[in-house]
């Protein structure tokens, strides 16, 4: 499978996760989100950008608890809950937020726990 971005075809797995996270851009994120049926609100961008920054520095996908901490800092305590995270990404943090952030499919979807 691929995501067509202009004259570039970005390789994805059978579920739409990028195979090469370095090919990610905000334009790619918008396309993946569109395919997921989501519009990237400022709150969603906060989570997606956090995942990207964490990956850039640590070369790993952050667990949901770290995303909640970033949400607390940027969105406030009342929005830093698992319930709100699932409102933003109804199919789950690992399944949608990480996919939109250009990560490969997490080997363990325990990111959501």
Exposed, middle or buried: residue 88 (CB in 10 Å: 0-12, 13-18, 19+)? buried
List the chain pLDDT tens, one digit each, 113 residues.
Answer: 899 999 999 999 999 999 999 999 999 999 999 999 999 999 999 999 999 999 999 988 898 899 999 999 999 999 999 999 999 999 999 889 999 999 988 776 545 54
Instruction: Assess if CATH 1.10.3720.10 describes domain 2-112.
Output: no
Q: Dihedral (C-alpha) 62, 63, 69, 70: value to the nearest 10 degrees? A: 30
Strand-strand pairing, 8-11 and 2-5: antiparallel
Domain boundaries, the chain: 2-112
pLDDT value at residue 109:
53
9, two tokens: 């075809």
CA nearest to 113, candidates 63, 40, 59: 63
Question: What is the token pair recorded at 98?
Answer: 């990480």
Cβ-contact 56, 28 below 8 angstroms:
no
- Rg (Cα) of the chain, in Å, rounded? 13
The number of C-alpha atoms within 13 Å of 37 and in the hemisphere containing its C-beta is: 4
- The whole model's pTM is what? 0.90
């Amino acid at each position: 499978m691929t995501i067509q971005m202009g004259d570039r075809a970005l390789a994805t797995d059978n579920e739409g996760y990028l195979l090469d996270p370095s090919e990610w851009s905000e334009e790619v994120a918008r396309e993946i989100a569109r395919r997921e049926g989501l519009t990237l609100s400022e709150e969603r961008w906060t989570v997606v950008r956090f995942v990207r920054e964490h990956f850039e520095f640590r070369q790993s996908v952050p667990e949901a608890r770290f995303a909640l901490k970033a949400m607390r800092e940027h969105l406030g305590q009342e929005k830093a809950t698992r319930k709100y995270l699932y409102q933003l990404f109804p199919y789950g943090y690992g399944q949608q937020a990480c996919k939109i952030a250009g990560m490969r499919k997490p080997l363990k979807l325990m990111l959501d726990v």
